[in-house]
Amino acid sequence: MTNTDRHGLIARAVGESGSATVQDLAELTGASEMTIRRDLDTLAAQGVLERVRGGARTLLLRGEEPPFALRAREAVDAKRRIAAEVASLITDGETVLLDSGTTCLEVARLLRQRPVTVMPLSLQAIHLFGEAPGSTTLMVPGGRPRAAEGALTGPLTLASLSALRFDTAVIGCCGLSAAEGLTAYDLDDAAVKKASIASARRVIAAADGSKLGRTAHAYVGPSALLHTLVTDSSAPAEEVAALEGTNTVVKTV
Amino acid sequence: MTNTDRHGLIARAVGESGSATVQDLAELTGASEMTIRRDLDTLAAQGVLERVRGGARTLLLRGEEPPFALRAREAVDAKRRIAAEVASLITDGETVLLDSGTTCLEVARLLRQRPVTVMPLSLQAIHLFGEAPGSTTLMVPGGRPRAAEGALTGPLTLASLSALRFDTAVIGCCGLSAAEGLTAYDLDDAAVKKASIASARRVIAAADGSKLGRTAHAYVGPSALLHTLVTDSSAPAEEVAALEGTNTVVKTV
DNA sequence: ACTTTCGCACAGAAAAAATGTTCGTTACGG
DNA sequence: CCGTAACGAACATTTTTTCTGTGCGAAAGT
């Protein structure tokens, strides 16, 4: 049991039951209470949960966007596979616009060292490219970083997007359905996605199955804007069929 | 002797004599040749020196800008002191534009956790703020990162600057004299500095003594544009006097 | 006032990084 | 084409760092 495993266990336990005491978690993981306290502090700092005296409480159940650190723990395998497929759809030499979100971050990992021009819309992805200046050309959009992930939003971001054109935009989403279209948790985020789609010749959406058929608050646009959707086999079949009816190519990995 | 010490020794040895063999360096540092090879690979990746068969060669003596990783090793103390003084000149609540360069990076370290709004012009500084989202508000400018430091330049950067106004701009420079004005190594960099100065109400230059009286290729503007100059005691006295004659307040730390 | 929880400080344990050695492979100079 | 020096991969060892548990006094809640 590594510390990361334990963190995962704790995050899941707290997330499922809504809250947990330090004692419970110590018993569950086999670690000492002191260790659990340290873990909880760490996870609280990451925005995974909220620290309360005696234990911890989940941050969900409030209609808010799940914290990035929490989302990053979910469906990692599916995201990796989806990202691999997306990366394979991108040809060397292309200019690529990379949206924020955990799936797109995986795509960023795969694009490193490849001869493409990339403009990522999150600080985390920018870090990835900035640290290993390989054959990839990096463009940084302006903006104000939002939340733990550092998703760039605001007028500067929109201005940067409107000044450029891309071969491909890789878009993540919080909700997607043929009926309700593409939706995001945050209005600013939605505006950025809208502008991203507008400045790319080809739009690839990367969304694991849990996103399909779901609708979030902020509307981005109709699903017909997407040229390709890459998802996994957990996607609801009827939703996939409906999306294919709107001229979107659906690839299931 | 830590590995960092050894890296410093190697960098200095190669820098002074122009080149060195693996054997020489192994003898000098007391480490094995394998370790030296690994060190040289590391330093080469950082852009401190160039790897050649049998040893390493300096990257200087070619009229180019000294690599960032090399500059970062020089005059660290002076830079820290200068940065501390600059940070003390900035009031809580201000909006601050932070130029690229090693000295400004030190200022960035000191501004973390302080309640100010900062827009750094280098990726390295953006990383600093991005990782510890304290009470500091971060703004990211657009642009193309240049060189190892990730100094942002280009039309996107200029557009970001022209869209905003700042209370204070902290400017680093490669050369500064009362007669020749403010100069930079790179034309793009100079353009960014020019725009930075234009969009700030107050301009603070941070330059250790070695920069004063020196002139680089790209002209930014007259020294009178600077409201305050923070430098250290190694600055040539006549140059300091001349700058004070152009309405610039000079602070020596 | 009493109990529980916290978190610091230290010591030991575990993990990670750095280093040295060996040895087969590769590049350069005759 | 061969010999020599240099290189770098793989492994063992050492060093450093990080993680973890325990004891104890302080702080928070009841």
The model's confidence at residue B46, banded by pLDDT at 50, 70 and 90, is confident
Is the pLDDT reported for residue A142 higher than 90?
A: yes
- 3.30.499.10, 1.10.10.10, 3.40.50.1360, 3.40.50.720: which CATH number matches A71-252? 3.40.50.1360
Where on strand D do bases come within 7 A of a protein Cβ?
Answer: 5-10, 16, 19-23, 28-29
**Alpha carbon B196 to chain centroid, angstroms:** 16
- Is-same-fold flag (A3-59; A71-252)? no
Of B137, B140, B159, the CB nearest to A140: B140
pLDDT at B131: 73
By CB atoms closer than 10 A (0-12, 13-18, 19+), residue B63 is exposed
Given a contact cutoff of 8 angstroms between Cβ atoms, the answer to whether A161 and A141 are in contact is yes
Given a cut of 90, whether residue A130 has pLDDT beyond it is: no
Residue A11 CA to C11 C1' — how many Å? 29
8 Å CB contact of B143 and A140? yes
Whether the pLDDT of residue B238 is over 70: the answer is: yes
Distance from CA of B80 to the nearest CA of A (A): 24
Chain B 41-70 residues in 7 Å CB range of strand C: 53
Which pTM value belongs to this model?
0.86
Choose the closest CB to B130 out of A139, A145, A155: A145
The answer to whether the Cβ–Cβ distance between A133 and B140 falls below 8 Å is no
A150 touching chain B per CB within 8 A: yes
d(CA B3, CA A237): 57
Question: What average pLDDT does the segment A119-138 reach?
Answer: 86
Q: Could you state, in order of their start, the residue ranges of all structural domains in chain B? A: 3-59, 71-252
pLDDT tops 70 at residue A137: yes
Q: Nearest-5° angle of CA A143, CA A147, CA A152?
A: 20
Per CB-CB distance under 8 Å, the chain A contacts of B143 are 139-140, 142
The answer to whether B133 contacts chain A (CB < 8 Å) is yes
Tell me B150's DSSP state: T
Can you name the CATH fold of A3-59?
Answer: Arc Repressor Mutant, subunit A (1.10.10)
Q: Which nucleotide is nearest to B3 (CA to C1')?
A: C18
Supply the pLDDT for residue B133: 64
Residue pLDDT, tens place only, A197-246: 999 999 999 999 989 999 998 999 999 999 999 999 999 999 999 999 98
- H helix count then E strand count, chain A: 10, 15
- The 10s digit of each residue's pLDDT in A23-80 is 999 999 999 999 999 999 999 988 889 999 999 999 876 555 666 767 766 778 889 8
- In chain B, the residue whose alpha carbon lies closest to the alpha carbon of A141 is B142
- d(CA B138, CA B252) in angstroms, rounded, equals 29
Considering only CA atoms, which of A169, A170, A248 is closest in space to residue A212? A248
* % of chain B beyond a pLDDT of 90: 74
